[in-house]
Amino acid sequence: MTPFHGFLLTAVLALSACATAGPPRLGADGKPLPRVYMIQPGSEGAVQYRLLDSVNALRAARGAVPLQLNSQLNAAAATHSRDMAVQNRPWHFGSDGSSPIDRVRRAGYSGMMLGENISETFETELETLSAWMADPTTAAVVVDPAARDLGFAWYQEPGGKLWWTMITGG
């Protein structure tokens, strides 16, 4: 894949996340009010595969092999997303003192845990992925050439705040 094709693919992914449902609502200051991204019940698989496809497109542009979703890593990610919400802080340690490696082992993953990205936001999974790619440390987790498996999950509070967790393993 040429650099131009990689740029084009990234641009298409970014633009696809920008679809709007009408004109933005304006606040008293005349500025657009933020939209809350609510994940509808039953759309969990669609959200996971949308992120997986985007991650694999970014990896392909860098010559890395595609990842596959792993149910054990998904379970570890879901547990951590919920725990971050309970703690009300985005960080890599569980309320019980567990590390990402501990959580992956508890979930029964037999491979090696390679990286974990987390986020506390009201943004979509693709906007969150874009933010991760803008930071060299979290981007390295996404495109790690040793990775083969992906776990991705979230917890959404009633008010819309999302706690995202992405785990890679190999």
Residue 16, burial from CB neighbour count under 10 angstroms (0-12, 13-18, 19+): exposed
d(CA 63, CA 16): 23
* pLDDT number for residue 7: 47
What tens digit of pLDDT does each residue of 92-136 get?
A: 999 899 999 999 999 999 999 999 999 999 899 999 999 999 999
Question: What residues make up the domain containing 134?
Answer: 43-169
In a domain, 51, yes or no: yes
In a domain, 20, yes or no: no
d(CA 61, CA 2): 8
Instruction: Give the global pTM.
Output: 0.80
Looking at the predicted structure, is the pLDDT value of residue 72 above 90?
yes
Looking at the predicted structure, is the pLDDT value of residue 145 above 70?
yes
Looking at the predicted structure, is the pLDDT value of residue 157 above 60?
yes
In a domain, 53, yes or no: yes
Q: State the total domains in the chain.
A: 1
What are the CA-CA distances from residue 36 to residues 24, 62, 103 (Å)? 12, 32, 29
In a domain, 92, yes or no: yes
d(CA 144, CA 44): 25
pLDDT confidence tier of residue 12, bands split at 50, 70 and 90: very low
Between strands 162-169 and 149-156, the pairing is antiparallel
For the chain, counts of helices (H) and of strands (E): 6, 4
Looking at the predicted structure, is the pLDDT value of residue 161 above 90?
yes
> Cα torsion for 61, 62, 63, 64, to the nearest 10°?
-110
- Domain of residue 123, CATH code: 3.40.33.10
In a domain, 75, yes or no: yes
Mean pLDDT, the chain, rounded, equals 88
Q: DSSP string covering 24-81, please?
A: PPB-TTSSBPPPP-PPPTT-HHHHHHHHHHHHHHHHHHTTPPPPEE-HHHHHHHHHHH
